[in-house]
Chains A and B, each alone.
Chain A
Amino acid sequence: MKKYLLKRILISIATLLIILVILFLRLEFMPGSPFNDEKLTTAQVELLNAKYGLDKPVLVRFGNYVKNMLTGDFGVSYTISKNTPISTLLMSRLPISVKIGGQAVLLGTFFGLILGIIAALKHNTIWDTLTTVISVIGVSLPSYVFALGLSYTLGFKFELFPLLYSSKLPFESSILPTISLSMFTLASIARFTRTEMIEVMGSDYIQLAESKGISGIHLIVRHQLRNALIPIITVLAPLIVGLMTGSLVIEKIFSIPGIGSLLVTAIQSNDYNVIIAIAFIYSAMYIGIMLLVDILYGVIDPRIRLAKEESHE
């Protein structure tokens, strides 16, 4: 397990470095320089270059760049909020997106798994059909339809939850966006769990477990779910990243000050540093989640965990 873990972590770090190289080169190959003013003399440009370290060789600059990015220094915003460090901008918005996304992941995964398991256990009954209908609705309706429906009913008609996000009621006001966001994940996980569970339930080792006399929750969790989880995790990973990085539509509907709307504003106003910073954070989160998934694989499936360590006996 240790070797497996180490390998995965090293691969993740390498991937992150490659992303940094691409982001850096993107700036490096852009025509012109930051000091394009024709009024500046060559000497002044050189002075400015020296001041910002632009006279140093490429590798040194890249080193500085990596160091700054990894320590969270993304530079300042040009247009959105002039001269505010981007890290401050992100710190006020990222946690909200991650929180709501995280809640949606937990909710969607939990109920998705439960629905999927029920559908598989009650295969070809009314429960199965019901679950299939729910998951088709969940997959095919976009999240804003749920958002608007929920706002109108639970928020406006019954006044159970606040209509808009507010930092004063961070939990209550996050419930509706969480539910709207989680529907797609819930439906996908339910469908996938159902298929995988049905396949596992027909396998020889489940028959063997049953012929040992194993039944009930123990059979479902220990024998069926654990084997069904391996492919489920694969589809779960990109869903998680999608939710954590914020959804523009949901943020607009509930007026959540999240990272999704920041990115769109940044793209519209050509705020390069902000775009790069968010791109980097998205990549880092994706890599982080993938690393987590790889580790989870290893925990669940010994064939993956032990694949490389096997001494041939």
Chain B
Amino acid sequence: MTDEKKVDQTTSKKVDQMTSKEKILSISDLSISFKTALGSVDAIRGVNLDLHRGETLAVVGESGSGKSVTMKAVMGILSSNGVVNSGKIDFNYSDAGEEMAVDILTLSKKYMRSHINGKHIAMIFQDPMTSLNPTMTIGAQIMEGMIWHKKANKREAKKRALELLELVGITDAEKRMKNYPHQLSGGMRQRVVIAIALACNPDLLICDEPTTALDVTIQAKILELIKDIQREMNISVIYITHDLGVVAKVADYVAVMYAGKIVEKGTVDEVFYDPRHPYTWGLLSAMPDLDTFDDKLYTIPGSPPNLSHKVEGDAFASRNIYALNIDKRLEPPMFKITETHYAATWLLHENAPKVEMPSALKERIDRMLKEANENGE
């Protein structure tokens, strides 16, 4: 009964005292490195994240910042050369009426597949053109998970698959069930991927850049769809994205990742209207809006550090025009700004010189706030 040892069953619901919201996922001090031919790469260097039931968290950052790796660790699909150095991923769920609390990192791959994947945590992938099996009908692919997890027999699974296809807005579902992926458009395929993810009523849905490969009009529809489903089924959603427009549209909370660490996190309003980390300033400044008239779009100078070398001090220091001397020597801790808003920059230390965000960004934020007020928010 090794399974019982691994799963510490708690009868009392894990309830966050402060907010009385049910905490579903809690990542603490997660570090992951990859063994490569050129040595070890520290892809994740101490990530802390919390997520409550029904909430939406967006994890943003550049390519290679560790967003996807973190979520693959949650999903238990890290590639075989990935090594978890430290940390916990606590996941709370209820199985057959029983409240369960597990540390995903201690679960065996077998247990993970049969008890968590699909059933409680599901994932939507970036590219719908490649994430469906080309040799199976979409009906079979939607039904597969339900039958595999013994949630339904074939007939029930078919009925549910038809419902799901209708839920994700695919008309003519009966006919579509017999189609193969290559017969559907990109937007349709992403809807199918969503239907697959929803098949077993997961508690947590991870969306890895779900709209990057789609054109803009379809993007909006897919985001709207995920939002509706989330409301209807009361599930928690994590978005991995580098599209700040997506974040603004869907998220409750935002976590900004840089070089394997979370550098700023808070509610979407806090991070968008009151950003504190110079990297977040850079990200927001790099986003064009309707009032951008400059010939050149702002970019953050330099490139992310090579994580196969040990990072000394703040990983962002070399690209940061506001960097202090201490940034080169000591890694900044998370400074608390409000109950929900944290940022990892020495600028927030009481002894730090007073630095304001770039004036162009300040103006833009003021403009956005004004618009938001006018729209009666």
Contact = CB atoms under 8 A, between A and B. Distances in A.
A208 B132 contact: yes
B114 A213 contact: yes
A28 interface: no
Interface of A: 123, 203-205, 207-215, 218, 222-223, 226-227, 300-303, 306, 310, 313
B133 A223 contact: yes
Given A218-B148, A302-B182, A306-B183, A211 B123 contact: yes
A303 B134 contact: yes
B306 interface: no
B125 interface: yes
**Chain A to chain B: the 3 pairs with minimum beta-carbon distance, closest first:** A213-B118, A213-B117, A212-B145
A209 B182 CA distance: 17
A207 B197 CA distance: 12
B116 interface: yes
A227 B119 CA distance: 25
Interface of B: 75, 77, 80, 109-110, 113-114, 116-119, 121-123, 125-127, 130-137, 144-145, 148-149, 180, 182-183, 193, 196-197, 199
Contacts of A226: 135
Nearest to B133: A205
A212 B144 contact: yes
Contacts of B126: 204
A103 to B, nearest CB: 29
A213 B144 CA distance: 10
Nearest to B131: A204
B134 A212 contact: no
A212 B77 CA distance: 11
B183 A310 contact: yes
A306 B135 contact: no
Contacts of B132: 205, 208
Given A300-B135, A301-B135, A213 B123 contact: no
A215 B110 contact: yes
A301 B133 CA distance: 11
A209 B114 CA distance: 12
Contact of A211 (B75, B80, B182): B75
Given A303-B182, A306-B183, A210 B117 contact: yes
A218 B140 CA distance: 13
Given A211-B77, A212-B144, A215-B114, A222 B182 contact: no
B326 to A, nearest CB: 41
A303 B183 CA distance: 9
Given A203-B130, A204-B127, A306-B180, A211 B136 contact: no
Nearest to A301: B135
Nearest to A211: B123
Nearest to A303: B182
Contacts of A204: 125-127, 130-131
A207 B125 contact: yes
Highest count of chain B CB atoms <10 Å: which of A213, A226, A303: A213
Contacts of B117: 210-213
Contacts of A215: 109-110, 113-114
Nearest to A202: B79
A194 B144 CA distance: 26
Contacts of B199: 212
B146 to A, nearest CB: 9
A181 B126 CA distance: 47
A76 to B, nearest CB: 51
Contacts of A210: 77, 113, 117
A47 B134 CA distance: 66
Nearest to A230: B135
Given A207-B125, A212-B196, A301-B135, 9 more contacts: A204-B126, A204-B130, A208-B133, A208-B196, A209-B144, A211-B122, A211-B197, A213-B113, A213-B118
B123 A208 contact: yes
A227 B114 contact: no
Contacts of B183: 306, 310, 313
Nearest to B110: A215
A212 B118 contact: yes
B118 A211 contact: yes
Highest count of chain B CB atoms <10 Å: which of A123, A203, A214: A214
B145 A214 contact: yes
A297 to B, nearest CB: 11
16 contacts: A204-B130, A209-B144, A211-B117, A212-B117, A212-B122, A212-B145, A213-B145, A214-B145, A215-B109, A215-B113, A215-B114, A222-B136, A227-B135, A301-B134, A302-B137, A302-B182
A152 B191 CA distance: 63
A226 B136 CA distance: 10
A101 to B, nearest CB: 29
A208 B134 contact: no
B130 A205 contact: yes
Contacts of A310: 183
A117 B117 CA distance: 24
Given A207-B125, A213-B118, A214-B145, A227 B77 contact: no
Contacts of A218: 148
Contacts of B109: 215
Contacts of A203: 130
A255 B123 CA distance: 61
B148 A303 contact: no
A227 B113 contact: no
